[in-house]
Chain A
Amino acid sequence: MDFLNAVVALANFVLIPATAYGAQLALGALGVTLIYGILRFSNFAHGDTMAFGTMATILVTWALQAAGISLGPLPTALLALPAGIAITALLLLGTDRAVYRFYREQKAKPVILVIVSMGVMFILNGLVRFIIGPDDHRFADGARFLIDARTFREMTGLAEGLAIRTSQAITIVTAVVVVALLFWFLNRTRTGKSMRAFSDNEDLALLSGINPERVVAITWIIVAALATTAGVLYGLDKSFKAFTYFQLLLPIFAAAIVGGLGNPLGAIAGGFLIAYSEVTITYAWKKVLTYLLPDGMAPEGLVQLLSTEYKFAVSFVILVIVLLFRPTGIFRGKSV
Chain B
Amino acid sequence: MKPRDMALFALVALLILGTGYLQSWNAALNILNMGLISAIMALGVNMQWGYAGLFNVGVMGFVALGGLGAVLVAMPPVGESWSAGGLRVLFALGIGVGVIVGAIQLWRRMARGALRGLAMVVWLVAGFFVFRAVFDPAVAAIEAVNPAATGYLGGLGLPVLFGWPVGALLAAGAAWVIGKTALGLRSDYLAIATLGIAEIVIAVLKNEEWLTRGVKNVIGIPRPVPYEVDLQADPGFVERAAGFGLDPVTASTLYVKLLYAGLFAIVLIALIWLSQMALRSPWGRMMRAIRDNEVAAEAMGKDVKARHLQIFILGSAVCGLAGAMMITLDSQLTPASYQPLRFTFLVWVMVIVGGSGNNFGAVLGGFLIWFLWVQVEPFGAFLMEVLTSGMAADSALRAHLLDSVAHMRLLTMGVILLLVLRFSPRGLIPER
Contact = CB atoms under 8 A, between A and B. Distances in A.
A316 B199 contact: yes
Interface stretch (A19-27, A130-138, A170-178, A181-189): A130-138
Interface stretch (B77-85, B282-290, B403-411): B403-411
A253 B414 contact: no
Given A130-B407, A134-B407, A316-B197, A114 B191 contact: yes
Interface string A239-251: 0000100110110
B322 to A, nearest CB: 20
Contacts of B267: none
B55 A111 contact: yes
Given A319-B192, A319-B193, A122 B200 contact: no
A133 B404 contact: yes
Contact of B203 (A114, A133, A309): A309
Given A112-B421, A307-B207, A261 B188 contact: yes
Interface in A277-311: 301, 305, 307, 309-310
B207 A309 contact: yes
Interface stretch (A145-153, A214-222, A320-328): A320-328
B336 to A, nearest CB: 12
A125 B341 contact: yes
B193 A316 contact: yes
B192 A121 contact: no
B181 A126 contact: no
Given A111-B187, A123-B418, A313-B203, A129 B182 contact: no
Given A42-B188, A129-B410, A320-B181, A118 B199 contact: no
Interface residues of B, number: 46
30 contacts: A42-B192, A110-B187, A110-B188, A111-B53, A112-B421, A114-B55, A118-B417, A119-B414, A126-B413, A130-B404, A130-B407, A131-B404, A133-B403, A134-B407, A246-B340, A247-B199, A250-B192, A250-B195, A250-B196, A257-B189, A257-B192, A310-B207, A313-B196, A316-B193, A316-B196, A316-B197, A319-B193, A320-B193, A324-B181, A327-B185
Given A118-B348, A316-B197, A310 B407 contact: no
Contact of A313 (B136, B200, B403): B200
A179 interface: no
A312 interface: yes
A320 B195 CA distance: 12
Contacts of B422: 99, 102
Contacts, number: 128
B277 interface: no
B91 to A, nearest CB: 20
Interface of A: 42, 44, 99, 102, 110-112, 114-116, 118-127, 129-131, 133-134, 243, 246-247, 249-250, 253-254, 257, 261, 301, 305, 307, 309-310, 312-313, 315-316, 319-320, 323-324, 327, 335
10 A-B pairs closest in CB distance: A122-B414, A126-B411, A126-B410, A123-B414, A316-B196, A129-B407, A119-B417, A119-B418, A312-B199, A42-B188
Nearest to B132: A305
Nearest to A41: B188
Given A114-B191, A116-B418, A129 B404 contact: yes
Contacts of A123: 410-411, 414-415, 418
A246 B60 CA distance: 15
A310 B200 contact: yes
A312 to B, nearest CB: 4
B110 to A, nearest CB: 15
A125 B339 CA distance: 13
Contact of B417 (A122, A305, A335): A122
A137 B197 CA distance: 29
Nearest to B404: A130
Interface in B386-430: 403-404, 407-415, 417-418, 421-422, 425
B199 A250 contact: yes
A126 B414 contact: yes
Interface in B202-253: 203, 206-207
Contacts of B185: 323, 327
Contacts of B53: 111
A102 B418 CA distance: 11
B345 interface: yes
Nearest to B192: A253
Contacts of B43: none
A316 B181 contact: no
Contacts of A254: 192, 196
A119 B421 contact: yes
Contacts of A301: 136
B196 A319 contact: yes
B191 A42 contact: yes
B112 interface: no
Given A301-B136, A316-B196, A323-B189, 12 more contacts: A116-B421, A120-B418, A125-B414, A126-B407, A126-B411, A307-B207, A310-B200, A310-B203, A316-B199, A319-B192, A324-B181, A327-B185
Contacts of A313: 196, 200, 203
A310 B214 CA distance: 14
Among B57, B403, B407, B409: residue with most chain A CB under 10 A: B407
B379 interface: no
B128 interface: yes
B138 to A, nearest CB: 15
B200 A312 contact: yes
Contacts of A257: 188-189, 192
